[in-house]
Amino acid sequence: MRAGEATAAVRGMMSERSVNVSRIGSPWAKSLFDESSGLHLWLPLETHLQDAGGVGRLLVHEWLGPAVRDMVAGPFAATPLPGTAPAEEAERFVAWLGCLHDVGKLTPAFAIKNRALAGVMDDAGLRVDRRLMPEDSRNLRHGVAGQLITERWLIERHGWSKEQARVVGGIVGGHHGIPPSLTEVQMAAARPDLMGRGTWEDTRRELLAQVSRLHDVDRYLERWGTLTIPQHVQVLMSALVIVADWIASNTDFFPLFPVGTTPTVATDRTVRGWSQVALPPPWVPTAAHLPVADLLQSRFELPEGSAPRPCQRATVETAQAMGLPGLLVLEDAMGSGKTEAALLAAEVLAERSGASGVFFALPTMATADATFGRVMRWLDRIAAGPGGATVSLAHGRAALNVGYRDLRRAGRTIDAVTQGDLNIGERLLIHDELPSVYAHVWLSGRKKGPLSDFVVGTIDQVLLAALRSPHLALRHLGLARKVVILDEVHASSAYMNVFLRRALQWLGAYGVPTILLSATLPSALRHSLVEAYLKGVRAAAPADRLARLSAAQRRRRTAPPEEAGVGDSSDPAYPVLTMATTHGLESRYLANALPSSRVGWELWPDDGDLVGELRGCLRGGGCVLIVCNTVRRAQAAYRGLRAEFGGDVHLMHSRFIIHDRLRNDAWLRSNFGPPNDAERPRRSIVVATQVAEQSLDIDFDLLITDLAPMDLLLQRVGRLHRHARPPRPATVGTPRCVVRHVPDVTDPVPQTEKGASAIYGDYLLLRAAAVLAEVAQTGGWTELPTQIASLVAAGYDDDTVTPPTWAAALGQARQEDQRRRQMTESGAKTWLLSAPNASRDLVGWLDSAPRASDDAQGRARVREGEDGIDVLLVEGSTELRVLSWIDQVGGEVVPTDVLPDLRLARAVAMSAVALPASFTRGARADAVLTELEQLMIPAWQRSPLLAGQLILPLIKDGVATLAGRRLVYDQTTGLEEVSLD
């Protein structure tokens, strides 16, 4: 149907059904032409604003949870209104914001987007300049217009100050994810042709007054113009408006009407729509005062009679008594039970703080997947309640996790989709009967997933809270509702730590109880992370907020357990639990959970004779882990050992396709995890990269590792003699760690291995080498875990005595390290969110943020040097097939002219792998991307699993040519570059 015909048809239908369309009832918010029925559908702006306001109020009342509800109510509690509860007033305020959010659509700039409905508005008295074209709407975003309209109305009609009006205007203007800048608002004011004058202004004032009356807001407007709303509270309100708008814009829940109908919105429309969304009530924890032993036994599958370990007892007892808001830093040996301690403490802190969920962040997707199962078993024991608990796995490949996929299925069912009186298809809805833990249909995807009650994901998901990016307020709302656990915090690079410190500032501002876990945390890093959190608390916690903390809560202090001592946070004892609150820092020194063991260290100046070493020490059997710093070195070591030891040698690194990595990880855990019914291999050699370094409960008899910074070396040692087992072979019966490429202390020009230097820099490598040299000079033994803290301190403390022969080399390396660190941190600040500032509004909060962003772009910006190129491997050239060894579908043809079915799409997605670094740098990266983009298949772009992905066909025997270079993929060695000769 042509534009002119559409306009005539719409006007005809309007005149048939409503002879006199009111001026305030004629503006439209949404429109749809249903091709199958030939009907025009619309939603009046007035109706949409009422929908969003009602949903906003319900979000606060029924979904938000006590912690964030109290925070949003805080400005109203500071000067309470007699006869009105602060929480109820906050509900009205958020509802009012929802009613205002789309007022910018009552402008010619928006109206002209649909000429037919603009004609109806014209008939009702809202004249649209006929010279305006739909493309002119791009010159005035309706969010910017809405901010300007709202601010003018509050200033001119209600006497608000410019500063206070801008607080509300910034929330209205930012409801599409990025608050407008001052410049954008000023430019909008200079376009009266797009804003509309005269009748347009009168109609907007009438509409604003009408929707404000809806929630009995009139009597509050004068008072609200005097309130102080801190910036972090504005962020949460902004997020609630975004969520309310999204729900009210979902035509499954809030259907459109046939054009010609001017509906009168009743309360039951909001109630019906809200009930169909079916957001569950907040999770309610009930663990705050249970004895630690009872908590442990009821939450985890432990042998009968198991007692809490020292770190578990201390962490839970401290969580039960500490002042809030607060941060806990638990430093204890690998395998000491830190994960269980953190989950138990999170329950306690959630109940005490009013949090309604937990966010558990880990270093990598692989460790997040591994921890997801453990968290799910814990959740099954704590999630009983009226609505159960919603869960999300938050990383780029969550859709490929089988356990998470099952949870998503549990929360879905098919029902009819209606638009007005029309049945136009099917939709996914919540089951009537749900398991206690499930993935909610609506709370899915990269933007909404973090709003689930429980989230397991990579640390990127927390770092992104410090990145200026669209819809950042939603991420903040998701974190603000929870207790946050950050595991292996030592693993973040200097670049990532810039974002981590800023994210911790915002967590402190929100009062989010936070738990940091590490076995090898340098004291300087611990100090900087603690200080960042407390800065945030201080920035958002004026004296009146601290005064509202109960005196009893402030007085409650952590009593040291019998096996521990108490001191200030600078003491180098280990294990240690540090508590940081507004009252200061306290440390509890814990007893070791694990028996102390003597680890022998042997230093090699080069690669050494791996074959000869292993031939001797494995003559009676044994299991060896060899950790290399680069994939290239691991592949080379694997080949050299495979020639001697055959099938006893296995290779693990990050350059396997997802399918093979999952297989490798499962084999690794099954054979080298905690003692179980599976028979441990008599002789086995695992060659790995950093994928085996942390967050894996695996156990080997002998460790051979490349030189790395001291904390990471100790992480690797954590895989050595980890569990009590029957007598190990005599030749590997004592824990021993061989470190390769350790420079000689007598050499005034020490040389580090090139690959390690590129990753870690020479300074930390030489510091670790100096520590190991001193260990070797004093007998070659260390007591672990007792000496972990002192070894890490020696590896990072600039004042530690080092070999005199290295003085010049270390000084130069230190200067280079500082230069690189400064450059790194400066680069991170390009995208860094500003620190929380209670006195600021949101206008310009995300200035310079991109208008569109996805998770891959975000991860690249918070992980320096990790913006590599992933490809999907397929077989063939003209006819593409699934890789032949993929389970069940291997070798099947994948159509390229139509969308592949879900089974094939998932198999292709499971074939993702990262290209070698040599393909992702400089001009070669440009050539690689150009070539790969030419291979993109249009039909695949409609698949959620394949859209935007690059494919690399393997033409024959696993070989591909890319940018003039040859790549080969093998199931046993992974992807690597080979010579063209």
DSSP letters of 688-737? Answer: E-GGGSSS----BSEEEEE---HHHHHHHHTTBS-S--SPPPGGG-S-EE
Contact 315, 590 (CB under 8 A): no
917-953, pLDDT tens digit by residue? 888 877 788 899 999 999 999 999 999 889 889 999 9
165's tokens: 């009006």
User: Cα-flanking dihedrals φ and ψ of residue 33, to 5°?
Assistant: -105, 115
Which pLDDT does position 135 carry in this prediction?
Answer: 82
Which pLDDT does position 4 carry in this prediction?
Answer: 46
Model confidence at 849, pLDDT cuts 50, 70, 90, reads: low
357-370, pLDDT tens digit by residue? 999 999 988 889 98
Given a cut of 80, is residue 388 above it in pLDDT?
Answer: no
Looking at 562-699, which runs of residues are DSSP E strands? Answer: 565-567, 576-581, 584-589, 597-603, 622-627, 649-652, 683-688
Alpha carbon distances (Å) from 746 to 3, 753, 812: 85, 17, 17
- Size of the chain, expressed as the number of residues it contains: 981
SS3 content of the chain, % helix, strand, coil (to 5): 45, 15, 40
d(CA 924, CA 719): 38
Q: What is the mean pLDDT of residues 175-199?
A: 92
Model confidence at 856, pLDDT cuts 50, 70, 90, reads: low
Share of the chain above pLDDT 70, in %: 88
User: Highest mean pLDDT range out of 74-88, 333-347, 823-837?
Assistant: 333-347
Model confidence at 872, pLDDT cuts 50, 70, 90, reads: very high
Q: Report the b/e string of 864-876 with b at 16+ CB within 10 A.
A: beeebbbbbbbbe
Helix or strand holding residue 967 (H, E): strand 965-970
User: What is the pLDDT of the chain when averaged over all its residues?
Assistant: 87
Q: What is the mean pLDDT of residues 548-572?
A: 39
Contacting residues for 935 by C-beta, under 8 A, at least 6 apart: 950, 951, 952, 953
Q: What is the mean pLDDT of residues 637-656?
A: 96
Question: How many Å is the Cα radius of gyration of the chain?
Answer: 31
Contacting residues for 79 by C-beta, under 8 A, at least 6 apart: 227
- Provide long-range contacts, Cβ within 8 A and 24+ apart, for 659-668: 659/883, 659/886, 659/887, 659/907, 659/910, 659/911, 660/971, 660/974, 661/366, 665/366, 665/370, 668/692, 668/696, 668/698
Which pLDDT does position 566 carry in this prediction?
Answer: 40
Q: What is the mean pLDDT of residues 759-773?
A: 95
Q: What is the mean pLDDT of residues 897-923?
A: 90
Q: What is the mean pLDDT of residues 31-55?
A: 85
**Residue 131 carries which DSSP code?**
T
71's tokens: 């925070």
Given a cut of 60, is residue 840 above it in pLDDT?
Answer: yes
Kindly give the pairing relationship between strand 974-978 and strand 965-970. Answer: antiparallel
Contacting residues for 168 by C-beta, under 8 A, at least 6 apart: 97, 100, 150, 151, 154
Q: What is the mean pLDDT of residues 208-235?
A: 93
Model confidence at 655, pLDDT cuts 50, 70, 90, reads: very high
d(CA 311, CA 315): 6
Model confidence at 404, pLDDT cuts 50, 70, 90, reads: confident
Least confident interval from 233-242, 400-409, 485-494, 678-687: 400-409
For Cα atoms 590, 595, 597, give the angle at the middle one, nearest 5 degrees: 115
Q: Which residue has the higher pLDDT, 49 or 435?
A: 49
Model confidence at 17, pLDDT cuts 50, 70, 90, reads: very low
Q: Quickly tell me which residue has 């890319």 as its tokens.
A: 962
Given a cut of 70, is residue 45 above it in pLDDT?
Answer: yes
Which pLDDT does position 453 carry in this prediction?
Answer: 95
Which pLDDT does position 384 carry in this prediction?
Answer: 64
Contacting residues for 726 by C-beta, under 8 A, at least 6 apart: none
Which pLDDT does position 333 carry in this prediction?
Answer: 92
Which pLDDT does position 697 carry in this prediction?
Answer: 85
Q: What is the mean pLDDT of residues 192-214?
A: 94
The dihedral built from the CA positions of residue 446, 451, 453 and 457, taken in this order, carries a sign that is positive
Least confident interval from 128-132, 260-264, 368-372: 260-264
Question: Quick check: helix, strand or coil at residue 824?
Answer: helix
d(CA 487, CA 535): 21
Given a cut of 60, is residue 227 above it in pLDDT?
Answer: yes
d(CA 520, CA 530): 16
The dihedral built from the CA positions of residue 201, 206, 212 and 215, taken in this order, carries a sign that is negative
Contact 625, 689 (CB under 8 A): no
Model confidence at 957, pLDDT cuts 50, 70, 90, reads: confident
**Residue 112 carries which DSSP code?**
T
Least confident interval from 83-92, 544-553, 897-906: 544-553
Which pLDDT does position 55 carry in this prediction?
Answer: 97
Which pLDDT does position 688 carry in this prediction?
Answer: 97
Contacting residues for 646 by C-beta, under 8 A, at least 6 apart: none
Which pLDDT does position 424 carry in this prediction?
Answer: 34
Given a cut of 80, is residue 425 above it in pLDDT?
Answer: no
Model confidence at 128, pLDDT cuts 50, 70, 90, reads: confident
Residues in a beta bridge with 391:
454
293-322, pLDDT tens digit by residue? 999 999 998 877 789 999 999 999 999 999
Contacting residues for 310 by C-beta, under 8 A, at least 6 apart: 561, 563, 564, 575, 590, 591, 592, 593
Given a cut of 50, is residue 57 above it in pLDDT?
Answer: yes
